[in-house]
Amino acid sequence: MKKKMVGDVPGNVLGMLADLAHKLQHGSITPEELAMFLKSENLPEENILTLIQDWQKFLYEIFNVEADFSEVLIPSAPDELVWPICVPKGITTEQAFSRGKRQFSIRKYTKKSLDDVLDLSSGRDAWQNSYIVCVHPNVEADEDLKNLSANDIAAQKINTITLKERILLGRFLYWKKEIILDRKISTLCAGSCCSDGSVPAAGWFDGRFRVGWGYSGLRYGDLRARRAVS
């Protein structure tokens, strides 16, 4: 069957371009995400098993950690959650933040170790074995979770990433293709909690990666969690 053409362009291609323009106009896709696609930085297109192999290479090259995820369960996640975060056994949040080869400038709003600040008694912060979680392939944190506080997320029982997972994901993506997460907003790491009841957040500010904390009831549009399947 002959394709319908408009000039030298197939009609279905023009339809996809119109759909892309609509999504850009309404914020369903950001200019940064479009730029990633045009520069072939579209990691979601890659096979998840290949990405897990890349995680093993990353952990060895940056942290000198020989991790094997071949026996680790890959969560059964919807098709749109296709970025794996591979957390190796034994690595702590402070080590994920400050150890290994320095990739970019970092800062945290405490002189204490992150492991001394966090409440490590519950959630995935308490897990001792290697594991994998899957998240949306967003450069900025999940749009549908804006204006939700950590208290709101807990009440709605939404599974979101921990501080350690956010740190590792950011370092992995920078190692792989120099992708910087959260240039415009901060990821609310509602999967973690500090011992004083506050909740950590992480993002890119003034040319460096920063970790901070906020009241668990804090909510605004530029503070968004990242949904996870574990």
8-52 confidence digits (pLDDT tens): 555 555 555 665 565 556 554 556 555 544 444 445 446 899 999
pLDDT of residue 158: 98
CA 55 and chain centroid, separation:
14
The average pLDDT across 157-163 equals 98
Name the strand (E) or helix (H) holding 210: strand 208-214
* Mean per-residue pLDDT over the chain, rounded: 87
What is the C-alpha to C-alpha distance for residues 124 and 142, in angstroms, rounded to an integer?
A: 20
78: pLDDT confidence band, cut at 50, 70 and 90?
confident
Residue 115 confidence (pLDDT) above 70:
yes
Question: Nearest 5°: phi and psi at 202?
Answer: -145, 145
What angle do helix axes 31-38 and 11-26 make, rounded to 10 degrees? 140
Torsion-angle region of residue 84: left (phi > 0), alpha (psi -120 to 50) or beta?
Answer: beta
pLDDT of residue 46: 65
The average pLDDT across 169-181 equals 97
Least confident window among 32-46, 134-148, 212-226: 32-46
The average pLDDT across 105-120 equals 96
